[in-house]
Structure 1
Amino acid sequence: MINSTSTSTQRPVLALSHQENIEHFDIEQLVSRLRHKLSGKKFVLVLDDIWDDNRSKWIELKDLIKVGAVESKILVTTRSNLIASMMGTVPMYTLKGLSLDNCLSLFVKWAFKEGEEVKYPHLSEIGKDIAKKCRGIPLAVKTLGSSLFSKFDLDKWKFVRDSQIWNLRQNKDDILPVLKLSYDQMPSYLRHCFAYFSLFPKDYLFTLGEICNLWDVFGLVQSPNGSQKLENIARDYIDELHSRSFLQDFEDFGQTCVFKVHDLVHDLAMYVAKDAFVVVNSYTQNIPEQARHLSIVENDSLGHALFSKSKSVRTILCPIQGVGVDSETLLDSWISRYKYLRYLDLSDSSFEELPNSISKLDLLRVLILSRNSKIRRLPHSICELQNLQELSVRGCMELEALPKGLGKLINLRQLFITTKQSVLSHDEFASMHHLQTLGFHYCDNLKFFFYAAQQLASLETLFVQSCGSLEMLNPWLCNECPITNLSLMKHLYLGDFPSLLTLPHWILGASNTLLSLVIKNFPNLKSLPECLSFLTCLKRLQIVDCPQLLSLPNDMHHLIVLKYLGIDGCPELCRKCQPQFGEYWPMLSHVKHVFIGDPNGKEN
């Protein structure tokens, strides 16, 4: 809710840039912050698909937000009449299904290209029967229509119409059988990937990298000819799921995308996942022997007795912010028991030390320790994990230093660092020839680090965020000479640099490859280098919260492939870039998507 109020005046495409850093707030601080943001303000709060019938929680929430203006409104949707009567202060509105005619119209829209249905009258007749069986539920119509799009095989349409799955015992308006039909028609590679959505909570905001890394670890992303990059194939999988209407709230940010899975689609993922995928909560009595993937969603649900039967777990993850593991003993028992672990995400945990036994996990590919509030050191044994491809200690604010010998992790492809160190040795990174993504986050003491440009020849994405003491990214931020061997750099994120007055000229070294550039929270940034207009491959440029920035380079019109430009929190620059009327608009008008904020935070 705090971050929703932060972005209430922003378009979704800029929302991620305005997320407030509340990762380390305790519950009292969160309550205080929310009350402050709502105090006296008029707001609309939408609570979608509520299932919790605990009235005391609802009263607690109302007491928390009643500091807002009296004109504020709360809109609740639920599939439970009991909850509607408990929460409502006005009579409930019962949403009716679509009429048969509207059902058929929606089905035709998703099953055919415009006007194409007249060429296939025999399929249209079958479509009427399918639409009728969807009982007025739009998601069912849309999903089935999408699954039959551009398929003109009469037998496939008859299979959907005549499938016995329609006859499954179901509650009123239950569309799980309908969705299962669409699932059955997916190619096998998508069906295998789809079940992994069940490990995350409903309404979870997925990122492309997160879910694709999970698929990749288990060999679900395969290049047909061996030449395509796996991340490109994974993106194709996501796009195909989106085209089949299994994903929603889809936002494309170029190098990545974010999306959600409809709650009914999540039900389907839970249904097809069976006992191999287990969500561990307070209702879990034991972990079945056949369990392969575990998701921890409640802190108080972790007892040793739960895990006595399971031996072959491959995945453990903690997907909910604030929910993690606080027992080193339990963690050590997992490491001893689950020798075949490949994916271990212990985000938001609070143990002080990672057990030395971590080195026993020879097959581990991903280790995520993000936002651990207590961990101070990593064991040197972590450097024995030769198969590790991703390591994240992002947001581990108490971490004193990275372990010596990190350079042994020669297969690392992604590395995200938070540390209290002031210097990082270049020797530790010299052998990381496969590193593609590197992030420095909240490294408050960091002053120098290695000659990355010369060493990390495979680096494609660089994040540098909230490193306030950084004197130079040697030679990243001080060397005015362009660095020629940034030949693979595609994505660059620079955030929270209060002392810099201009951007580094070394960016020119990536002029032939850089696709996206994000500049956020440079409070004293006065100008952008003229060489910015030489980034001829740049497709996305985002400039946020740089209030002293007054101008753009004169040759911005040379960025002819720029597809998206977002500028916000830069009052004077926003004024000059206003569509149609701003003095800079003539050199920006060729950009397809332009979002410019005004001094009040609104957008045009």
Structure 2
Amino acid sequence: MPVENLKLEYLNLSHSKLRTLDLGSTPNLCTLLLEGCYDLVEIKAPVGCLRNLAILDLSGCGSFMSFLFDKQLDSHLIAEPTNVCPLHSENNLPKLKFPCFYREDPGNIPEAPRDLDQLEGLEELMFSSTKIRNLPDSICMLMHLKAIRLKSCWHLEKLPEDLGRLQCLEELDLTECIVLRDIPNSICQMKSLKYFHLPYCFLVEKLPEEIGSLKRLEELNIEGAGISHLPQSIFQLKRLCIVGFTWQLQSYGFKSVIQTSTYVSFAYTSYHSTANHLEKPV
């Protein structure tokens, strides 16, 4: 299907049997909706014709997404076009910034891509229920990364030692990384970190001693983690919210805990007692 309209701003071809879309001359196109176009295999877009594109929906385009990314995606894509994609210099694909979510497949994901550093504009990275054992060091080159979410990655054994190079990172979520043991000391260099979550990281027994240098840290979730005591430096942080089991927080010396459920509470560092290095009860 060829398209050529200098004034066209909105194009919805969702759930069609389209195989090839030639956008021709559509310099004002802002919204392109192709949801459910399972047979789509090719989009022809002259350089510059997508410079105003703001919304690109390719959810359910199984064949096209498999062809382009070598994995199926199921997401709503909010795209910000810049220039020609550096990873596909042989064609005229635009460089787009968007969130994407991989479907779980029976084979699972055995390892993270080694060349993640090529995704220079990546802001969020999430792996869930994968077989990944470690993250490549190349992740430390993603200077625009704001969030890392590694949820239920039960095989994850370690994090990159230089993770602290991610100066823009605001969220580090390691929920249920049950075989992870160590948190690299370099995370204390993450000046933008606001949320650090370690729920049910059973084998993580301690936090870096200089964690108090994370002046912007707002929430620390250690519910069910194996941490026996909190570093003294953490109490230098003003109004840090620490989430954990009620008995867990009390064992750290917190007297003013606020229960959110039968077993879970939160406390603020402003209200800690002097007995903040008590060991966990057996």
TM range (shorter): 0.5 to 0.7
Whole-Å separation in 2 of the counterparts to 1:304 and 1:324: 6
1:242-321 correspondence to structure 2 within 5 Å: 275=10, 281-283=14-16, 285=18, 289=23, 290=26, 298=36, 301-305=37-41, 307-308=43-44, 312=50
The residue that corresponds to 2:171 in the other structure is: 437
Give the equivalent residue in structure 2 for 1:544: 261
Q: Please name the residue that 2:252 is paired with.
A: 529
Q: CA–CA distance in 1 between the matches of 2:111 and 2:270?
A: 49
AA aligned to 2:103 is S
Cα deviation, 1:115-158, whole Å, max 9, x if unaligned, reads xxxxxxxxxxxxxxxxxxxxxxxxxxxxxxxxxxxxxxxxxxxx
Name structure 1 gaps, 5 residues minimum. Answer: 1-272, 353-372, 536-540, 560-604
SS of 1:444's equivalent?
Answer: coil
Counterparts of 2:270 and 2:190 in 1: how far apart (Å)? 32
Q: Distance in 2 between matches of 1:489 and 1:425?
A: 21
Q: Which residue of structure 1 lines up, in the alignment, with residue 214 of structure 2? A: 486
Rounded to whole Å, the distance in 2 between the matches of 1:557 and 1:379 is 42
SS at 1:307's partner residue? strand
Q: 2:145: which partner in 1?
A: 412
Aligned residue in 2 for 1:511: 237
Cα distance in 2 between the residues matched to 1:494 and 1:295: 42
Write the mapping of 1:583-598 to structure 2, written as runs, cut at 5 A: none
C-alpha spacing 1:382/1:348, structure 2 compared with 1 (3 Å): closer
Q: TM-score, normalised by structure 2?
A: 0.61
Q: Output one character per residue of 1:8-57: Cα deviation in whole Å (capped at 9) or x when no partner.
A: xxxxxxxxxxxxxxxxxxxxxxxxxxxxxxxxxxxxxxxxxxxxxxxxxx
**What's the counterpart of residue 349 of structure 1?**
103
Q: CA deviation at 1:503?
A: 6.6
Cα drift, residue 446 of structure 1: 0.8
CA contact (8 A) 2:9 2:30 kept: no
The answer (yes or no) to whether the contact 1:287–1:307 under 8 Å persists in 2 is yes
C-alpha distance in 2 between matches for 1:446 and 1:324: 36
CA contact (8 A) 1:314 1:340 kept: no
Deviation string, structure 1 residues 372-418 (Cα, Å, up to 9, x no partner) = x722223222212333333222x142334312322111232222235
With over 3 angstroms needed to count, the CA separation of the structure-2 counterparts of 1:410 and 1:383, relative to structure 1, is same
Q: Is the 8 A contact 1:328 1:351 kept in 2?
A: no
SS of the equivalent of 1:392 reads strand
SS in 2 for 1:459: coil
> 1:422 Cα deviation (Å)?
1.3
Normalised by the size of structure 1, how large is the TM-score? 0.32
Q: Which structure has the highest helix share of the two?
A: 1
8 Å Cα contact 1:350-1:374 kept in structure 2: yes
1: CA distance between counterparts of 2:232 and 2:58? 38
1:331 aligns with 2:45: no
Deviation at 1:483, TM superposition (A): 4.4
2:213 is the counterpart of 1:472: no
- The amino acid across from 2:237 in the alignment is S
Structure 1 residues 381 and 556, CA, compared in 2 at 3 Å: closer, same or farther? closer
Instruction: Say what the alpha-carbon RMSD is for the aligned residues.
Output: 4.5
Distance in 2 separating the partners of 1:517 and 1:324: 43
- Matched with 1:112 is none
Report the 3-state secondary structure (helix = DSSP H, G, I; strand = E; otherwise coil) of the residue aligned with 1:438: strand
Q: Distance in 1 between matches of 2:21 and 2:206?
A: 47
Deviation readout 1:234-257 (Å, 9 max, x if unpaired): xxxxxxxxxxxxxxxxxxxxxxxx
Percent sequence identity is: 14
SS across alignment from 1:405: helix
SS at match of 2:117: helix
d(CA) in 2 for partners of 1:433 and 1:556? Answer: 24
CA contact (8 A) 1:437 1:462 kept: yes
Which aligned pairs between 1:394-409 and structure 2 lie closer than 5 A? 395-409=128-142
Residue in 1 that maps onto 2:158: 423
Aligned-residue offset at 1:523: 8.8
How many residue pairs match? The answer is: 236
Which structure has the higher relative contact order (CA within 8 Å, separation 6+)? 2
**In 2 relative to 1, CA 504–391 (structure 1 residues): closer, same or farther, beyond 3 Å?**
same
Task: Give the 3 Å change call, closer, same or farther, for CA 317–391 of structure 1 in structure 2.
Answer: farther
Which of these two proteins has the greater Rg computed from alpha carbons? 1
Is residue 383 of structure 1 aligned with residue 138 of structure 2?
Answer: no
Q: Deviations over 1:65-107 (max 9, x none)?
A: xxxxxxxxxxxxxxxxxxxxxxxxxxxxxxxxxxxxxxxxxxx
Q: Supply the AA of the counterpart residue of 2:38.
A: L
Instruction: State how far apart, in whole Å, the 2-side matches of 1:509 and 1:407 are.
Output: 28
